[in-house]
C-alpha cells in the first residue's frame, strides 16, 4: 500500500501542470500497471489534506489538481493552453469583504482561480499572429 502511494507521489511530481485523477492514473499505470483509480483517488485525497496539492478548477466535470509549494494563503493562475500553474497572492481586497459585510454576510472561506495564458503560451500566440 505505501509502496503504491510512493509510486503515485512520484508520478504526481512528474505532472507538468494541472491534472485530473484520471491523468495521473494513466501516468501511474505506465510505470506500475495494476494500481487502481480508487487507490489514486485515495492518495490524492491524502496529498490534498497535507497541502501538497491544491484544487485549481475542473475539466469536463473532473477536479483539476496541481502541485502546490506555497503554504501561505494564496491562489492559482492556470494556463488554459498548457495547464501550467503558478501561485499568486490573494486578489481579494477589503472592498469585497466590506460589501459582503454590508449585505450582512460573514465571509469564512473563499476560492479563487484565475485562468489565462502563461508567458510561454503568450509568446507562442504572438508568434503565430
Residue 55 within binding range of Zn ion, rule CB under 5 A:
no
Which residue(s) pair with 19 in the sheet? 65
| Residue from 18, 68, 78, 113 in contact with Zn ion (CB under 5 A) | 68
According to DSSP H, which parts of 1-129 are helical? Answer: 2-13, 21-31, 37-50, 94-102, 119-128
Residue 118 makes contact with Zn ion by CB under 5 A: yes
Q: How far apart are CA 27 and CA 4, in angstroms?
A: 13
Task: Assign 56 to helix, strand or coil.
Answer: strand
Over the window 6 to 45, marking each residue x when it contacts Zn ion by CB under 5 A and - when it does not, the resulting string is ----------------------------------------
Determine the interface stretch with Zn ion among 21-29, 34-42, 56-64, 88-96 (rule: CB under 5 A): 88-96
Rg (Cα) of the chain, in Å, rounded?
A: 17
**Binding site residues, Zn ion, CB under 5 A:** 54, 68, 70, 79, 81-82, 84, 87, 90, 92, 118, 121
Amino acid at each position: 500500500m505505501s509502496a503504491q502511494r510512493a509510486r503515485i507521489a512520484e508520478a504526481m511530481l512528474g505532472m507538468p501542470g494541472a491534472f485530473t485523477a484520471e491523468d495521473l492514473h494513466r501516468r501511474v499505470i505506465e510505470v506500475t500497471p495494476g494500481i487502481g483509480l480508487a487507490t489514486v483517488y485515495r492518495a490524492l485525497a491524502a496529498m490534498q489534506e497535507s497541502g501538497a496539492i491544491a484544487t485549481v478548477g475542473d475539466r469536463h466535470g473532473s477536479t483539476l489538481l496541481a502541485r502546490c509549494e506555497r503554504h501561505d494563503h494564496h491562489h492559482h493562475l492556470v494556463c488554459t493552453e498548457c495547464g501550467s500553474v503558478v501561485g499568486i497572492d490573494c486578489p481579494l481586497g477589503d472592498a469585497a469583504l466590506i460589501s459582503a459585510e454590508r449585505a450582512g454576510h460573514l465571509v469564512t472561506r473563499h476560492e479563487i482561480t484565475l485562468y489565462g495564458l502563461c508567458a510561454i503560451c503568450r509568446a507562442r500566440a504572438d508568434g503565430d499572429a
